[in-house]
Structure 1
Amino acid sequence: MKNWIPIPGTKKEALLKVAIEEFKHKAFPDVNINELAKKADMTTGAVYHHFGSKINLYTTIREEMEQRLIDRMEGAASLFETSIEKMSAAMTTNLPFVYEQNFCLLLGSNHPEGKEGKVDQYIGSLQNGTDLPLDVILLPAWRSVLLRLHQEEITMEQAQNLIQWLFRKGEKGN
C-alpha cells in the first residue's frame, strides 16, 4: 500500500480531502495552510505533522492525480503502434477525464519547485523512435489547454481539436 493513503476517518484523510478541493480550485500560491486547516477542522500543526510542509502536501496530491491520469493514458496509448499515435491518444482522449475530475488547474500548472512530473516522464517515454523531443512543445501546449479549460476560455471540443491539430501538423512535417 502507498504510504500516503490515509485510513478512513483519520485526520490525514480529512486534510487530504480538503487539500484536494483547495488545489483543484486554487493555484499553489493561493492555497493558505491556515485556511486549509480550518476547513479540515484542525490546526496547522496537523498539516505539518502529516506532511511536513505545504509543498509536500501539494506534491502528494499532484502525484496521485497524475498517476490516475497516467493509468488512463497508458490504456489509450496501448491501442496504437507509433509513438506519435500513442502520444496523441494519451493526451487527447483523456482531456474529458481531467476536466470532469476538475484536475485542469492542478495538472495544467507547473510544479512550484519546477519538478518534472509523472505525466512529463510518461509522455517523454512515448517518444521512442521520434527524431525530435516532441515533449518540449507538446507538454506546455497540453498544460495551456488545461488551464484554458479551467478558466472556461475554450470548450472541450476546442481543447481536443487543438491537441489533435498539433499532431496533424507534426505528421505533415509543418
Structure 2
Amino acid sequence: MREWMPVSSSPRGRLALAAVKEFGARPFDEVTVAELAAAAQVTTGALYHHFESKLGLYAFVRADVERRLLDRMEGALTAAGPDRSAAVTSALLVGLDFAVREGFLRILGDPPAGTGPDPLAEMLAEAVPAAPLLGRVLAAAWRAALAAVAEGEPPDQVRAAVAALGLRLPDA
C-alpha cells in the first residue's frame, strides 16, 4: 500500500506531478529546479522542503513510476502462461506501451541512478531463472527501445523491433 499518493492541489503533489512530466520527457540533467518549481506553481524552497533536492524528487517519482511499470509487466508475465519466451516478450511490450502512452520515456529509459539494484533487470531475471544475466541484457535492450522513441523513432516501429527479438529462453 502506498504511503503517499500525489494530490494535485498540495505543493508536494504538484511537485510530484510536474516532476513526472518533466523527467518523463527530458533527461535529468536538462531539467532545472526552477523549471520544476514553476511548473508546480511553488517556490524552489518548497521543492527543497519536501524532497531535499532535485535528486530526491527524481528518486521519489522514479520509484513510483517504476513500480507502476513493474506491476503491469508482472501482470503480463503471469497472464501469458507457461511459455517463458512469450511471457517475457509480452511483458516487454506491455511495459513499452505503458511508457510510451504515459510519456515516461526518459525517466524509465535511463538506468537507475547510483549503485543500487535495477528493479527491472531483477524482475526480468526472475522471469528466466535458468539465465539470470539475461535480465540485465533485456532491461538494457528495453531501455534502448525507449531511447529510440524519445529520439523520434516511430513507436510502432520500435514496438515491432522489440517483438521481433525472437526470444528463445531456456526452461526454468
Normalised by the size of structure 1, how large is the TM-score?
A: 0.85
Equivalent in the alignment of 2:85: 84
Pairing of 1:19-98 with structure 2 (within 5 A)? 19-78=19-78, 79-98=80-99
Which residue does the alignment assign to 1:162? 161
The gaps in structure 2 that reach 5 residues or longer are none
- Check conservation: 2:125, 2:132, Cα contact below 8 A: no
Structure 1 residue 7 displacement after superposition: 4.2
Matches within 5 A, 1:137-152: 137-152=137-152
**Contact 2:69 / 2:95 at 8 angstroms: preserved in 1?**
yes
Between the aligned partners of 2:131 and 2:39, the Cα distance in structure 1 is 50
Deviations 1:45-64 (A, max 9, x none): 21111112211211111111
Residue 81 of structure 1 aligns with an amino acid whose one-letter code is P
How far residue 82 of structure 1 moved from its aligned partner, in angstroms, is 3.6
**Which residue identity lines up with residue 163 of structure 1 in the other structure?**
V
How many corresponding residue pairs?
Answer: 169
Give the unaligned 5+ runs of structure 1: none
The one-letter amino acid of 1:111's match is P
Task: Report the CA distance shift for 1:8/1:104 in structure 2 as closer, same or farther (over 3 A).
Answer: closer
Query: Equivalent pairs: percent with the same residue?
Result: 30
CA distance in 2 between partners of 1:121 and 1:161 (Å): 24
> What is the DSSP-based 3-state SS (H/G/I as helix, E as strand, rest coil) of the residue aligned with 1:134?
helix
Q: Which residue of 2 aligns with 1:2?
A: 2
Work out whether residues 127 and 133 of structure 1, in 8 Å CA contact, stay in contact via their aligned partners in 2: no
Matched residue SS, 2:133 = coil
Deviates more, 1:47-56 or 1:106-115: 106-115
Deviation at 1:114, TM superposition (A): 4.6
RMSD: 2.1
Q: 1:80-105 deviations in whole A, cap 9, x for unaligned?
A: 21433322111023322211111111
* 1:25-44 Cα deviation digits (max 9, x unpaired): 21011111122112222221
Report if the CA contact (8 A) 1:27-1:105 is conserved: yes
Displacement after TM superposition at 1:11 (Å): 0.8
Q: 1:167 & 1:19 partners in 2: Cα distance?
A: 36
Inter-partner Cα distance in structure 1 for 2:25 and 2:115: 20
